[in-house]
Structure 1
Amino acid sequence: MPRTYSYSADFDQETEMLFRDAKFLGEGHNGIVYELPENKAVKIFQEKKCCKEEGEILKRVGSSSYFPKLHKMGDYYIVRDKVDGIRLDHYIKKHGFGYEISLNLYELFKEFKRLKFTKLDARCRDLYITDDNKIMVIDPKQCFSKKVTYPRHLMKGLHKLEVLESFIEDIRIIDIKIAKEWEKKINHYLENKKLI
């Protein structure tokens, strides 16, 4: 649901020209996103700090196929590749949940470790499933500053969607050690929050 913030960004000339044909995509806590021509998207932020943080993360993970490529960054905006696909939670509601998604999520978290993230987590709403069943991260936050040792938000989201047990069962097949660790941590978290 759109919020009532007002946004302003001092675009460079090229982005200004592209923005003339922009289409609204969505709005989150930190900013508003528009589709641009040339398969790009622009995110306009409320705060300079949030813009800088997200832009710097996208720069650092530029070699990873799990993140959109950053094209340019201003004080209050970033231009990056547009991510096509369906939000993970919406995808699960429409198409169900299977082993391939679990495997792709496991590989994503291996990539987070490779990239030396301190936050090994992502929300369902920040993950998109592309047409070829690849996972893309659209809104990386606090990846190098917050410490989370397992995919807590993701698993909490899967719990709400009633597919957490299926996910854990798949991870047991893929990596029993990780499955035991994640299951123990998420069960402790859910019990403490009285969510089970």
Structure 2
Amino acid sequence: MDDYHKITVEKTGLKINNPTRYELIGKGVQGAVFRISEDRCVKVYARERHCLKESEALNLGQHSAIVPKVFDVGAKYIVMEYIKGQSMKDYLQPLAIIPDPIAKQLVFIFKEMKRMGFTRIDASIRHLIVNEQGEVKVIDHVNSLKTRHLWPMDFFKALGKLKLLDTFLYQLKEMDPDLYCEWKAMMDTGVN
């Protein structure tokens, strides 16, 4: 089961060499993700520094329900919990409103990121995964301790494109008026 060590990823065009039977389930700027069992996946990085950055962020979140559990870390790979579900974008696209339980989880996630010490209080809408139980988890934490976003500006932009930002802001104002005022002020002034 640990033949995932044979998988390599090169930065040049993210060239992937996968001599294993593991299915490629995603790839991005820093690496590629392969499903290695029913409940685990491995992210293989092109550069060790990206692996180190993400493992540091995941380590901070191991006592939180919002990040995947980590099982093993190497120089260029992390074996972690496989989150079976769909991206928040795919989940929200057919909807006219954000269901309240999801909106509450989103608010919790961004507050939890701050509590954990992340400097990026934000997430790409494609990195928010809604699992089969309706729980939301965040994947891809390479820049969670590097990039500085004081509010979920990328997430808000994505909600705007889905025409759901006003709905979410209304829900936020009802759930947490202080946080609403804080984020709205940052949004209006263009603060990162």
Asked if the contact 2:14/2:29 (under 8 Å) is kept, the reply is no
- Counting only pairs closer than 5 Å after superposition, residues 27-176 of structure 1 correspond to structure 2 as 27-96=27-96, 97-176=98-177
Q: d(CA) in 1 for partners of 2:27 and 2:143?
A: 19
Moved more, 139-148 or 101-110: 139-148
Q: d(CA) in 2 for partners of 1:111 and 1:5?
A: 32
Q: d(CA) in 2 for partners of 1:150 and 1:53?
A: 21
Residue 15 of structure 2 corresponds to 6
Alignment size in residue pairs: 179
Deviation at 1:8, TM superposition (A): 5.5
Q: d(CA) in 2 for partners of 1:177 and 1:61?
A: 25
Deviation at 1:138, TM superposition (A): 1.0
Q: What code does the residue aligned with 1:63 have?
A: H
| Superposition RMSD in Å | 2.1
Q: d(CA) in 2 for partners of 1:84 and 1:94?
A: 19
**Identical aligned pairs, as a percentage?**
26
Q: When the two structures are superposed, what TM-score results if normalisation uses the length of structure 2?
A: 0.85
Q: d(CA) in 1 for partners of 2:131 and 2:190?
A: 30
Asked if the contact 1:155/1:186 (under 8 Å) is kept, the reply is no
Deviation at 1:155, TM superposition (A): 0.7
Residue 22 of structure 2 corresponds to 22
Asked if the contact 2:51/2:142 (under 8 Å) is kept, the reply is no
Q: d(CA) in 1 for partners of 2:70 and 2:56?
A: 9
Q: d(CA) in 1 for partners of 2:85 and 2:141?
A: 17
Runs of 5+ consecutive residues of structure 2 not aligned to the other structure: 1-11
Q: d(CA) in 2 for partners of 1:155 and 1:147?
A: 16
Residue 177 of structure 1 corresponds to 178
Q: When the two structures are superposed, what TM-score results if normalisation uses the length of structure 1?
A: 0.83
Deviation at 1:143, TM superposition (A): 2.1
Deviation at 1:180, TM superposition (A): 1.8
Deviation at 1:178, TM superposition (A): 1.1
Q: What code does the residue aligned with 1:22 have?
A: Y
Which structure features the higher share of strand residues? 2
Deviation at 1:174, TM superposition (A): 0.4
Judging changes above 3 Å, is the alpha-carbon distance between structure 1 residues 86 and 38 closer, same or farther for their aligned structure 2 residues? Answer: closer
Q: d(CA) in 1 for partners of 2:185 and 2:60?
A: 32
Q: Secondary structure at the match of 1:129?
A: strand
Q: d(CA) in 2 for partners of 1:78 and 1:91?
A: 27
Judging changes above 3 Å, is the alpha-carbon distance between structure 1 residues 49 and 8 closer, same or farther for their aligned structure 2 residues? Answer: farther
Deviation at 1:95, TM superposition (A): 4.2
Asked if the contact 2:119/2:148 (under 8 Å) is kept, the reply is yes
Runs of 5+ consecutive residues of structure 1 not aligned to the other structure: 10-18, 191-196
Q: d(CA) in 1 for partners of 2:166 and 2:142?
A: 27
Asked if the contact 1:51/1:75 (under 8 Å) is kept, the reply is yes
